Structure 1
Amino acid sequence: MNLGVESLRKILQLEQARGYSNLAVIGGLDRYLHGCLEKTEATEQVFFLKEVCSPGFSYAALSENERKEWVERVLQQLAKVDVASKQPTGVPSPAKGSLDSPIAILKGISSALAAKFARLGVKTVKDMLYFFPRRHLNYSQRVPISKLEPGIEQTTVANIWEAREVKLGSRKGTEVTVGDETGNIRVVWFNQPYLAKRLRTNAQIVLSGKVSLFKGTKVFESPEWETLESEDLAHTGRLVPLYPLTEGLNPRRVRKLVKEVVAQWSPQLVDFLPQEVRDHRSLVDLPQAIQQAHYPDSEQRKDEAR
């Protein structure tokens, strides 16, 4: 079983999205955590789990508020764990460049794409680290399908029952039926017929966005989405960053690129504040502050990063 930091982070973020209902993994968190401790070799991640799971610990026995506090505390501690050994896909090793290197050295960023970022003042790797979101959408709280309300930003986790290409007015698109234990809902994406082939039947999906009413029936229209096969949630189920854009830059692509750069390159930043000053003022170090400014684990962590 993979006990990588990102895998554990993903599970806890999903637990947040599901309202601390102990449904993030089959059998509950207790079974997952204790199973990992029993079967996995002694690694840094196992030592971490032993630290946060005291003898006799039972997540199932906690109240909802206690679960919330425990998950947020563990996510905060996870942010301090060194994840440098995990190389995110599409991001080069720091040995192949420096913080002052042009972003065109990064895999996935062509010269044309770099020129678009340059219009926003992002020319170097360091510029991208300091390319902060305008704001965040709070998609962290999961709502059952039966409780979704029109006109409000919400997140739900569901199973895909059917996905098909359809004609929506004069445009082609994708129509999907998803459901959870409380009901089903229709989801549509305009001008994205290719999604019908990407969204597999019986896969679990996280949807974040606004629900509208069509002839008295609730419909998710063009929500942000991610399947739970994703290594880490970037577009749903959490505080999702909204970055400044310019012509030719897609929000999902910008989020993906920035997230990879922050994960790989922020540890290279040097914090010039002495440790005693940070401790006295309860400040996180610069790499953590940058990480939490982009992809905070909670509203509290976002505020601490400022």
Structure 2
Amino acid sequence: MTTIPSLIKAIKSPLVFIARTKRIETLRGLKVTINRLVDKAIAVVPDEVQKNLFFQIRNCFADFDMRDEAGKLTTVEVALTLLNQIEAEIKPIDKENLSQEIEERIKILSTPIQYIKGVGPHIAARLQKKGINTIEDALYFLPRDYEDRRNLKTISAARVGEKETLKGKILGLNLVSYHRRKVLEMVLGDQTGIIVLKWFNFNEGYINYLKKKFKLGQKVIVSGKVEAYSFRKEISHPDIELIDEEEKEDSLNFNRIVPKYSETEGLHQKTIRRIMQNVIENYAHFVPDGIPRTISQKQKLMDLSLSFKRVHFPTNDDDFSLLTAGISPYHRRIIFDEFFFLELMLDLKKRGTILEKGISFSVRGNFLEEFEALLPFPLTGAQKRVIEEIKIDMAKPYPMHRLIQGDVGSGKTIVAFAAALIAIENNYQAAIMAPTEILAEQHFFTLRQLAIKKGINVAYLFSRMKKSLRNEVYKNIKSGKIDLIVGTHAIIQE
């Protein structure tokens, strides 16, 4: 009897070979073979989730024969990712081994970046300036932008008002004066025309750097917004990259969508791309995917390791506009991952707070009515609602964690005073802290007038108080004579 594991093995075998060798032309009739095996799997698999994943593999190969080599390799990679997901679904969970596997992955991802091939201590020191200390840091060092180098336009075809990527030869590099303002201009040309590149607000060191790096006759790739000035095309402050004469148009830097990273001194785009390619190819698959499969499927999320691969090195079939806007499926998956675990952390923290023992305050049923009678103005609907919510929180046997948001003058201080009054009525002391002495003093005079009506003693505490006066306040607080303390951060300092 044909089993699911045996079918997965049969499907993976040619795909793994292609992924490793990139020799897709050696396997004839791949689409027919894969579809035949996938149909067998769909017929016998009982689980709907797994069946849906097999259908996705079949859909990947729908137009396989019409794709170019890069597109076919992408299809193979996506299919392998889906097969790995199916294997994870059918494989029994061994919690002990799973924990060990995750620990091992984390250990690998924590490897210092200097030990990656092609890095070393010198480049590692430069990467550290960008916050890249480990392999994991490198994976999360996402491109700041992308350049479309799939089909570079000629200079004459560059459209004014659009961001374009162009290739040309340096025809001139001069310092030009415009109404007492010096501008560094580079003239770039190809067989169809010229375009002027401009740099403003530079220093002498930058001029020397450009003149040392770029020479007449060199070929470069530039990217930026094309503008029109005096009947000629210009780009101000373009991204510029030198094409070495001996360098071939390799698959990493040409004929594709190319990532652009944030640079630092002595670390240029080609170097960063080479390092990132090494990191992605060898370590992206070690990133643990902690989001439950059901959530990933419901939210239609990409595989995490595949997302890292594609956000750093997109395929030529990817939507360039989505990539540059940072809203591609790959960006969405990584962003979702960060927000998911942030929310999970906050929820766990909240549960920890619930387990922490607090004070259950007793609150009278007519508290709000009596409190409002103290005031020379009626409470707003929002203030009443928030005070009622605070009453409920303070009656619970664990600490309250609440953030009140409102515009200046919306009445947040009065709400805080209501919460303090609940604590005071339960024979506890309360403190209201303000960020500045001016604001603290304002709160003190406002609240003291209200506190007097309730027979509440209020003290004002701030950092510039005379030592003798401060000691007197401390003494009264310690003895319990003071019910409410208003002040700055001096309240919580020894």
How far 1:101 sits from its partner (Å)? 1.8
Greater percentage in helix: 2
Q: Does 1:103 align with 2:113?
A: yes
CA distance in 2, matches of 1:199, 1:81: 46
Q: Does 1:256 align with 2:270?
A: no
CA distance in 2, matches of 1:176, 1:52: 51
Residue aligned with 2:175, SS = strand
- 1:266 corresponds in structure 2 to 283
One-letter amino acid of the counterpart of residue 186, structure 1 = I
One-letter amino acid of the counterpart of residue 175, structure 2 = K
Q: Does 1:288 align with 2:306?
A: yes
In structure 2, the CA distance between the partners of 1:299 and 1:52, relative to structure 1 (3 Å rule), is farther
In structure 2, the CA distance between the partners of 1:265 and 1:214, relative to structure 1 (3 Å rule), is same
Residue aligned with 1:155, SS = strand
CA distance in 1, matches of 2:28, 2:303: 22
CA distance in 2, matches of 1:52, 1:218: 50
Q: Does 1:116 align with 2:136?
A: no
CA distance in 2, matches of 1:238, 1:293: 11
TM-score, normalised via structure 2 length: 0.35
In structure 2, the CA distance between the partners of 1:290 and 1:248, relative to structure 1 (3 Å rule), is same
Equivalent pair of 2:139/2:284 in contact (CA under 8 Å) = no
- Number of corresponding residues: 224
One-letter amino acid of the counterpart of residue 47, structure 1 = I
One-letter amino acid of the counterpart of residue 223, structure 2 = S
CA distance in 1, matches of 2:25, 2:284: 20
CA distance in 2, matches of 1:284, 1:117: 27
- 2:197 corresponds in structure 1 to 188
In structure 2, the CA distance between the partners of 1:218 and 1:80, relative to structure 1 (3 Å rule), is same
How far 1:144 sits from its partner (Å)? 3.5
One-letter amino acid of the counterpart of residue 194, structure 1 = K
Deviation sequence 1:43-64 (CA, Å, 0-9, x none): 933334755999xxxxxxxxxx
- 1:167 corresponds in structure 2 to 175
Q: Does 1:218 align with 2:233?
A: yes
Residue aligned with 1:113, SS = helix
One-letter amino acid of the counterpart of residue 145, structure 2 = H
- 1:92 corresponds in structure 2 to none
One-letter amino acid of the counterpart of residue 207, structure 1 = V
Residue aligned with 1:193, SS = helix
CA distance in 2, matches of 1:286, 1:150: 38
Residue aligned with 2:109, SS = coil
- 2:399 corresponds in structure 1 to none
How far 1:130 sits from its partner (Å)? 1.9
CA distance in 1, matches of 2:30, 2:136: 37
- 1:232 corresponds in structure 2 to 251
Deviation sequence 1:148-178 (CA, Å, 0-9, x none): 22332112345x3x54443344879673442
In structure 2, the CA distance between the partners of 1:45 and 1:139, relative to structure 1 (3 Å rule), is closer
Percent of aligned pairs with the same amino acid: 16
CA distance in 2, matches of 1:296, 1:214: 34
Equivalent pair of 1:152/1:211 in contact (CA under 8 Å) = yes
Residue segments in structure 2 that go unaligned for 5+ positions in a row:
1-19, 32-62, 81-106, 200-206, 334-494
How far 1:283 sits from its partner (Å)? 6.0
RMSD value, Cα: 4.8
TM-score, normalised via structure 1 length: 0.52
Residue segments in structure 1 that go unaligned for 5+ positions in a row:
1-42, 55-65, 83-96
Pairing 1:1-306 to 2, within 5 Å after superposition: 44-48=21-25, 70-71=67-68, 73-74=71-72, 76-77=74-75, 98-106=108-116, 107=119, 110=122, 112-118=125-131, 122-133=132-143, 135-137=144-146, 139=148, 142-158=152-168, 160=169, 163-169=171-177, 175-180=186-191, 183-188=192-197, 190=199, 191=207, 192-197=210-215, 200=218, 206-221=221-236, 222-225=238-241, 227=243, 229-234=248-253, 238=257, 240-243=259-262, 252=269, 255-256=272-273, 259-267=276-284, 269-272=286-289, 285-297=303-315, 298-299=318-319, 303-305=328-330, 306=333
